[in-house]
Amino acid sequence: MPQDANVLGTLFGGQMVSWMDISASKAVHRFLKDTNADAALTRAIDAIEFKEPVHVGNWVNFEAKIISTGRSSIHIQIDAYKETKELDKLLACTARFTFVSVKKLQDGTYEKVDHNKTV
Ligand SMILES: CC(C)(COP(=O)(O)OP(=O)(O)OC[C@H]1O[C@@H](n2cnc3c(N)ncnc32)[C@H](O)[C@@H]1OP(=O)(O)O)[C@@H](O)C(=O)NCCC(=O)NCCS
C-alpha cells in the first residue's frame, strides 16, 4: 500500500521488518502451544538482507522456519518473497530472528522461561 512505501516508492525497510517480526511471532506461537510459556519476545534480529525492492502494488509472502532452539531461545529464519502478476516468487528479504520464551509475573513483568522443546 502507498503508506508502506519510502520516498522512492519502494517498500520501507522498517515496514518489512515489522511484517517479518509478526511472521516469526506466529511460528513461535505455534511452537510454544504445548509448553508452559505465556508468550515470547523478540530478543535479536540478525543477518537481515534486503535483496530486491518491493514496489507499491506487489504482494509479499512470508515463510518462517524454526531452525534451532536453546533453553529459552528460539531461532527463526524468515524469508520474504515478492509476488507480482508476472512473477510467482522472488526472494526479496531474509533475516534470522531470536525470540525468548517468557512467563508473565504477578506484577505484570515478564521473565525468561525454559520451553523444554527442540526442533
Ligand atoms: C527477553 C528478556 C525477558 C530475556 O531476558 P534475560 O533474562 O536477560 O535473558 P537473556 O536475553 O540474556 O537470554 C535469554 C536467551 O536469549 C539468548 N540471547 C541473548 N542475546 C542474544 C542475541 N543477541 N542473539 C541471540 N540470542 C541471544 C541467550 O543466549 C538465552 O538463550 P538460552 O536461554 O536458550 O540459553 C529480556 O531480554 C527482555 O525483556 N528484552 C526486551 C524484549 C522486547 O522488548 N522485545 C521487543 C518487543 S517483542
Whether the CB of 105 sits within 6 Å of ligand 1: no
pLDDT of residue 26: 98
Is the residue at 75 inside a domain? Answer: yes
Judged by DSSP in three states, 50 sits in: strand
- What pLDDT, in 10s, does the model give residues 83-110? 999 999 999 999 999 999 999 999 999 9
Whether the CB of 112 sits within 6 Å of ligand 1: yes
Which whole-number Å values give the CA distances from 4 to 18, 41, 43, 51, 108, in the listed order?
11, 24, 25, 18, 33
Between CA 84 and CA 52 the distance in angstroms is 13
Predicted TM-score (pTM) of this structure: 0.96
DSSP calls for 52-111? S--BTT-EEEEEEEEEEE-SSEEEEEEEEEEE-SS-S-EEEEEEEEEEEEEEE-TTS-EE
Low-confidence ranges of the chain (pLDDT < 50): none
pLDDT of residue 91: 98
Is the residue at 76 inside a domain? Answer: yes
Whether the CB of 24 sits within 6 Å of ligand 1: no
Is the residue at 78 inside a domain? Answer: yes
Is the residue at 20 inside a domain? Answer: yes
